[in-house]
Every structure is written in structure tokens, then in C-alpha cells.
Amino acid sequence: MIDDWFAPLRGLIDVAHIERTVRLLVVGGGRVGLSFIHTAIAHGVRWVRVIEPDWTESRNYASGFPEAAVGSRKIDFLREHLLRYSSRISFEGASVRLTTASMEPFLSWLPRSSHVALFLDSFEVASALARMAYRQCPCLYAAVFENGRTGEAAWSLGGQTPCLESTVRLSEKRGARGGQTALVDVLSTVNVSVRQLLGLALAGRRGFELFAPFVRPRFPLAVVVNRPGGFAETGSPDMPSGVRLVEVVDVNGRGPTCPTCAGYRP
């Protein structure tokens, strides 16, 4: 599950610091969320709260859930799976479908969380949750688009980046170029997300230098395309070739002024 792409960085990551300080609140334990949680735990995260309403179906065979898990709640599988990985993991889960009008237990768990990660099909709900998290803690969002060919990973940090909604709205370069038929590289989306999480977790310490491309407020959005060489525009040799970082400004080079992220300036 853990991609070798991380291997050169693993020794540089302050796992003990992450273990002590990161309290991860995840919404969405599907294909992307499950991979993300695995990778986060492999990098030291030991406090995890997950909200995921779905049951595992046979179509999930290829997405990280084993055959034995079919017919069970994803949250139950996750709990069992993670505690088997390490008994030191603090795990709580909720089998609840969040909406813009009903955000529990997200709102109850948010004050104790240090990082929020959203893996939702509904961008409307993700935006609403990210709005609540914006002033509280770093917030990640990662999704595979409906076209199944591209994905994206974005993050926000109160006062230092736009909010999630403004990030996506202002990212004119968002989306894939035409003519692609390959399935999106989900792990690339996850990898970018985890790197962003680590960058945020280590910001202010030595990690800030190592993960500067991911904690630079100019680039809170990364578009992931499964076409090696297609988007090798990051200028960073340790990034997957299918990832492009997107600067979030309007045509005049200005950042957003929405009620959530008012005060942020690029």
C-alpha cells in the first residue's frame, strides 16, 4: 500500500514529532481515504478519527478492501484493520453521512484535531467542512474527478492560503487536458496529499525546508494526471511526473476575498 516514491524521504521525516503532534480527522474512507490513512500511519500518525458512512461492496475489490470485508461497514473494517496494524493507534469512527446541514460528529471532533483530511465526492459538503476547519487547523482535500481520469489535492491554512472553495474556484488551470483515457493514478493523489500533510505537520520545524513546495501558500492545489511526463511542470525532481502544482490567483494576480478567507493575501 505504501508507495516506494516515499523511500528517499522516509529517513528525513520526523516520525516522533508527527506521532506526538498530529491528530488526524478524516472524512471519507473510500479508495483515496483508505490509502491516505495507511500512508499517514506509516509516517507516524497515531491519532485518527474517521467518518465514513458506506458499506463495502464487491466493486471495492480493487480499491484496498479485501474480499473478507465485503458486506461490512467500511468504518468497522478500518477500525479492525488499523488496530491490527498497531494497538497504539487511537481510533474512533462514525458511520455517518455528513451534509451541509448536518456535520456531527465532525464539529465535535474538530477542536481536538490538528489536521483535517477530506475525501468526499461532494465538493459542496467538502467546502462546507473546510470552511469550518479553515481557522482551526490545516485542512486537506483530495478527490478523483468523476471522469475517473484525473484527481486533485488541495490544502488550506487559515490566513496563509485561500479556503478550499476559493482555491478551487480561482484555479483556472484545474482539470485535465483532453484526450486522456487512462485511469487516474489514485496513489499519486494520495502521495501528494500525504506530502502536503507532512509539510503542514512539520512546518515551522526543519521540515519546512524539506517540504517547502507543499507549504508555500502560492501552491495550495495540485492536479494529478495519470500520464507520465504529461505534467512534469513542478520543477521538483522528487515529484511524480503526473503532478502539476497550481497557483491560486485571479487574472490580476490577486487572491480571493470571500467571507471565509477574507484577510488572506497572496
Q: By the criterion CB under 5 A, which residues form the site for Zn ion?
A: 163, 166, 256, 258, 260-261
Nearer to Zn ion, 64 or 256 (CB): 256
Residue with nearest beta carbon to Zn ion: 166
Least CB distance to Zn ion at residue 163 (A): 3
Q: Measured at the alpha carbon of residue 195, what is the angle toward residues 210 and 155, in degrees to the nearest 5?
A: 110
CA 166 to chain centre: 17
Nearer to Zn ion, 177 or 254 (CB): 254
* CA–CA gap between residue 266 and residue 254 (Å, rounded): 7
Nearer to Zn ion, 161 or 196 (CB): 161
Nearer to Zn ion, 37 or 137 (CB): 137
Least CB distance to Zn ion at residue 137 (A): 16
Looking at the chain, list the stretches that DSSP marks H as alpha helix, in order from N- to C-terminal side.
7-10, 15-21, 31-42, 74-85, 106-109, 123-133, 164-170, 186-202, 207-210, 212-215
Least CB distance to Zn ion at residue 173 (A): 18
> Residues near 112 by Cβ (< 8 Å), separated by ≥ 6?
23
Report the candidate in 189, 69, 247 with the shortest Cα–Cα distance to residue 255: 247
Least CB distance to Zn ion at residue 217 (A): 13
Give helix then strand counts, H and E, for the chain. 10, 8
Least CB distance to Zn ion at residue 263 (A): 10
Nearer to Zn ion, 91 or 134 (CB): 134
